[in-house]
Structure 1
Amino acid sequence: MGTVGALEKLAPVVLAFGCGAVLARRKVIPAESSKVFADYAFLFAVPCFLFGNIYRSDLAALFHWRAVTAYAAAAATAAVLTGVLAGTLAGVRDPRGVALRIMAAVQVNTAYFAVPVFIMLFGDAAPIFPVLLFQVCVLSLVVIAVMELGRPDRTGSPVRRLGSAVGASLLTPVVVACNAGVALNLLSVPVPGVVLDGFAFVGDSASPVALFALGLHVGGSGLEVRGTTLEEVWLIAVKCVALPLITFAVCRYGFGLEGERLSQLVLIAAMPAPQNLFVFAQRYDVGVDVAAALVVKSSVVALLLLPLWTQWAV
């Protein structure tokens, strides 16, 4: 796929994201309303999309365990690199601060960014589902464990605090939708067509609404390029450049993956930092300003680099 073809594929993504940013900058739509759009996408539309697509998917082909293991190995490599850089370049010693930076550099924005991009490029977001489950059920749980165990304002035993946090994360609509889709698919439980059609109707709105919400957030908060710190620069570099390259090297030369599956894993790794990074930072009062800047700036950088990654990987 050439540069022109990649740009044509990504044009709807740029349109939805850019319109949100412009309307927020011109104060046509209040930037604060981005939370409403984001909540609709994250709590309702994205779960509907994920459930319907996972239920209809061929799980044996979708959950290619060698590919999932390869991506996990690449993520672990990037996590170690980020932890070392956090200590040496940023002087971060608090385990919660290190965990937050690893989350920023290793986890990807699946629901708000990867889903619409993959729909535009491949007509299907199914390749994202295994990474999404790995990210939610493994990476996020590790970050939650570190955050909860290091929290000074909570009473009760560490085991009780950790159990409460893990339980809450597993009951989020996205996780419930994924698990329900997998379970009903494996058990061959019939779901009425009218229900699946309803989920598909709502799920089709997830991508444009999520990108529009992200654009509103970016347009309202603005980008202070001159105020970008060295820490933000290297974290964005790890997220948007190093992680895709590490993923390519580990998956291609460590696990022998080739073709479209390799390309999809590289593109997933090239997605920006997850939007819930800011939610985690606020909840645990760790690196709030850094998290807010990384979510916005990595989204813009990833959007600018996507045509290059698309041309190179696909």
Structure 2
Amino acid sequence: MQGVLSGFAVIAVVIGAGYAMGRRGSLGAQGREVLTRLAFHAATPALLFTTLARADLSVIFSGRLLVTALSTAVAAGVFVAVGAARGWGLGRTTIGALCSSYVNAGNLGIPIAVYVLGDASLVAPVLLFQQVLVTPLALTVLDLSGAGAKGPLWRRLLTPLRNPVAVGSLSGVLVSATGVHLPGPVMEPLILIGNMSVPAVLLAFGISLRGSTAPGRGRDRHLVLLSVALKSVGQPVVAWALAAGVFSLRGAPLLDVVVTAALPAAQNLYTYAGRYRVGESLARESILLSTLLSVPVLVVVAALLG
């Protein structure tokens, strides 16, 4: 369990630093917004581009990824169905669906894959799936749900090409697919900028905790509780059922997909909520609660299937 605990410890320290900076006002009144904009418009697109430009795209066609994709669709679909029935609105429902299904495959998934599963490459298919398909689709919906929904049809159809995160992801896939080798003077600055993404997201998340209500007690408590239940319990159970019952996975492959599904909601979802100014408390509280709950969930999964 060293990988689980060390991964959470690193995240907790950086979030704690952000919270302390928020209390002291170290970055001023607009510090959180500046960090969010930095992550969304520069650091995260650069990180996704450099990651995908060097990725092996053949992992997209693995059987394990199909289990991950289906369990993601089920968890998100349940939240969308409830949100539509309850009239929660397109923007909030989209953020809630992401919090119900979008796993922290980067800064938590990689160390857990190394120490628990023994192979960091096992999270690569999930990273690619989320960055190439889920993120552009969700951000396009968020664009169209707000100001982006106005204007001529051709402009609305080009929404994914105007989103920096989607552009970074799709450009990286294009470079990898074509086999183009980018020289060091091109890649190194992008790598340097991309390295700011995770710290900026975690610090902004920590700053946002200052003065916030206790998780699950705010006006979005019903959305938060549903998304956390789906993320922490629903998605791992669906992944196990599909992997074992439909795809007949056993042993290490079964453990891989269930551990991946049990990862908490990713911190960068708060960046998206902050960027579009929708569901911010929902994202913050869902991420925090699912992260706390994922520790015992991952321990139980590893004990039962390991």
* TM-score, reference length from structure 2: 0.77
Instruction: Specify which of 57, 67, 72 is matched with residue 70 of structure 1.
Output: 67
| Residue pair 2:40, 2:275 contacting (<8 A) in 1 also | no
How far does residue 304 in structure 1 lie from its aligned partner after superposition? 0.8
Q: Quickly say closer, same or farther: Cα 1:249–1:219, change in 2 above 3 A.
A: farther
Instruction: Specify which of 16, 33, 50 is matched with residue 14 of structure 2.
Output: 16
Q: Quickly say closer, same or farther: Cα 1:30–1:241, change in 2 above 3 A.
A: farther
Matches within 5 A, 1:227-306: 227=218, 229-257=221-249, 258-259=253-254, 261-263=256-258, 265-267=260-262, 270-271=265-266, 274-275=269-270, 276-277=272-273, 279-280=275-276, 282=277, 288=278, 291-306=279-294
Matches within 5 A, 1:1-314: 2=1, 5-30=3-28, 32-60=30-58, 62-86=59-83, 91-92=86-87, 97=89, 100-106=92-98, 114-122=105-113, 126-127=124-125, 128-141=127-140, 147=145, 154=150, 160=153, 163-219=154-210, 221-223=212-214, 226-227=217-218, 229-257=221-249, 258-259=253-254, 261-263=256-258, 265-267=260-262, 270-271=265-266, 274-275=269-270, 276-277=272-273, 279-280=275-276, 282=277, 288=278, 291-313=279-301
Distance 1:99 1:253 in 2: 34
How far does residue 191 in structure 1 lie from its aligned partner after superposition? 0.8
Q: Quickly say closer, same or farther: Cα 1:33–1:220, change in 2 above 3 A.
A: farther
For 1:285, the equivalent position in structure 2 comes to none
Task: Report the secondary structure of 1:191's partner residue.
Answer: coil
For 2:117, the equivalent position in structure 1 comes to none
Once the two structures are aligned, what percentage of the paired residues are identical? 21
How far does residue 63 in structure 1 lie from its aligned partner after superposition? 1.2
| Residue pair 1:41, 1:209 contacting (<8 A) in 2 also | yes
How far does residue 226 in structure 1 lie from its aligned partner after superposition? 4.1
Q: Quickly say closer, same or farther: Cα 1:141–1:208, change in 2 above 3 A.
A: closer
| Residue pair 1:236, 1:298 contacting (<8 A) in 2 also | yes
How far does residue 171 in structure 1 lie from its aligned partner after superposition? 2.8
Distance 2:74 2:160 in 1: 24
Q: Deviations over 1:158-193 (max 9, x none)?
A: xx1xx4234123332222222222212222212102
> Which structure 1 segments of 5+ residues have no match?
283-287
Q: Quickly say closer, same or farther: Cα 1:211–1:155, change in 2 above 3 A.
A: closer
Q: Quickly say closer, same or farther: Cα 1:23–1:115, change in 2 above 3 A.
A: same
Q: Quickly say closer, same or farther: Cα 1:65–1:277, change in 2 above 3 A.
A: farther
* TM-score, reference length from structure 1: 0.75
How far does residue 301 in structure 1 lie from its aligned partner after superposition? 0.6
Distance 1:122 1:183 in 2: 26
Aligned CA-pair RMSD: 3.5
How far does residue 222 in structure 1 lie from its aligned partner after superposition? 4.7
Q: Deviations over 1:75-121 (max 9, x none)?
A: 33224422443466xx32x7xx267425413457969x543223443
How far does residue 52 in structure 1 lie from its aligned partner after superposition? 1.7
How far does residue 238 in structure 1 lie from its aligned partner after superposition? 2.4
Q: Quickly say closer, same or farther: Cα 1:223–1:28, change in 2 above 3 A.
A: farther
| Residue pair 2:15, 2:206 contacting (<8 A) in 1 also | yes
Q: Quickly say closer, same or farther: Cα 1:219–1:120, change in 2 above 3 A.
A: farther
How far does residue 297 in structure 1 lie from its aligned partner after superposition? 0.5
Distance 2:235 2:101 in 1: 13
Q: Deviations over 1:262-289 (max 9, x none)?
A: 1463145654692224554x4xxxxx5x
